[in-house]
Amino acid sequence: EKYLKIGYSMPAATAGYMARAIYWAKKGMADWKAKDKNLEFLYVNAENVTKQANDIEDLMAKGINVLIVWPYDASVTSVIEKAWKAGIYTVVMDRGTSKVCYDTYLSNDDEGYTREGTEWLSKQLNYKGNIVLIEGIPCPINTVRIETIKKTAAQYPGMKILDSQPGNWRKDEALKVMENYLQKYKAIDAVYTADDDMMLGALQAYKESGRKDIKYFLGGACDKNVIKMIMDGKEPLVQANVTYPPDQCATVVGVAIQGARGKNFQGFYQKKIPVRIILAAELVTRQNAASYYFPDEP
């Protein structure tokens, strides 16, 4: 087997979701290392784009021949391109690059992620109701998600989006925003945050307020506590979730190794591994919740 020196660059854990992503990244690396001696992993985290650019340079200095990179955002493209042009087998994941400078791209489906959610929510409210959104940190993925929510909801005249304010993917800030919404809007039917941390924060604000008007709280990305809630079904306000699987970070390790060794997955007739892999965003309800519950995640 070809000896692979794999550099893995991710954004730092600044939100609950990223912590889980990192957990899976490490798990993926550990699992592969266990079954294959010809692998070496160099793993780095960045707090901002500049640091990430530095990280990638440092990895190249250490002579990697495979690069897995979860770009902070598309602005890191040109740095990734340098690695790719240098003949390093490059796998880009999640947030895309602004041009093709990779051998394989693996990602979650940001549009599907919030489309699924919005559709479900609309259906529950039988296409009529007032919803408030709590956004993440202003940045491209957040924009995509929010746009999609608005587009999808726009199909149904009855669905009104009252407001959309940033909670920066933080429980405490989402809680503040929700407290303020509750003062501002006397009738809310549902709260959609597309993130479980923020959803839990909002939910708590609602509970504290003692109001009874809201029917649904929808987060996203399957935080283990939320999935548990859904499984137990004791919390009528939280009945569904949408996957945004953080285990993509584990999957991507396999993709990179297979790809770098010129192999493909079982059942593919092609020699080469697919150039773009988009993971489905699945709706999680009480029926299927159990299969999305990972108690070991942070």
Partner 1 sequence: MKTHTLALLGKIQYEKVAPFVALAVLFVASSVLSPYFLQIQNLLNILRQVSYTGMIALGMTFVIIGGGIDLSVGSLAAFNASMGILFLNYLMGPLGNEYLAMAGGILAALLLGAFSGALNGFLITKGKIAPFIVTLGSMAIFRSLALFIGSAGEIRSVSNYYGTFGMESILFVPVPVFAMVILTVLLSLVLNNTAYGRYLCAVGSNLRVAVFSAIKVNKIKFITYTLCGLITSVSAVMLSSRFNAVSTSNLGMGFELDAIAAVIIGGTPLTGGRGTVWGTVMGAIILGIINNMLNMLGVSPYLQGTVKGLVIIGAVYIQAQKS
Where do contacts with partner 1 occur on this chain (CB under 8 A)?
12-16, 18-20, 22-23, 42-45, 47-51, 53-55, 57-59, 61-62, 72-79, 98, 135, 137-140, 142-143, 163-166, 170-172, 175-177, 179-181, 183-184, 197, 200-201, 204, 208-209, 225, 297-298
Closest CB to partner 1 among 72 and 192?
72
Give per-residue burial for 147-157: e unless 16+ CB within 10 Å, then b.
ebbeebbeebe
Helix ranges (DSSP H) in 62-98 = 77-85
Q: Which is nearer to partner 1, 172 or 213 (CB)?
A: 172
Whole-number minimum distance, CB 124 to partner 1, in Å? Answer: 25
Phi/psi for 58 (5° steps) reads -60, -40
User: Is the CB of 103 or the CB of 196 nearer to partner 1?
Assistant: 196
* Least gap, CB of 146 to partner 1 (angstroms): 9
The 3-state DSSP class for residue 46 equals strand
Nearer to partner 1, 74 or 277 (CB): 74
List, in sequence order, every residue forming a beta bridge with 190; answer none if it has no partner: 131, 216
Give whichever of 69 and 273 is closer to partner 1, judged by the CB atom: 69
Classify residue 274 as exposed, middle or buried by CB count within 10 Å of its CB (0-12, 13-18, 19+): middle
Q: How far is the CB of 169 from partner 1 (least distance, A)?
A: 8
CA-based torsion, 17, 161, 113, 284: positive or negative: positive
Compute the least distance from the CB of residue 126 to partner 1, in Å: 27
Partner residues linked to 166 by β-bridges: 135
Whether 220 and 113 have beta carbons less than 8 Å apart is answered as: yes
Residue 84 beta carbon to partner 1: minimum distance, rounded to whole angstroms = 15
Q: Considering all CA atoms of the chain, what is the largest pairwise distance in Å, rounded to the nearest integer?
A: 64
DSSP H or E run through 263: none
What are 152's two structure tokens? Answer: 């999808």
Least gap, CB of 29 to partner 1 (angstroms) = 12
Query: Which C-beta is closer to partner 1: that of 76 or that of 256?
Result: 76
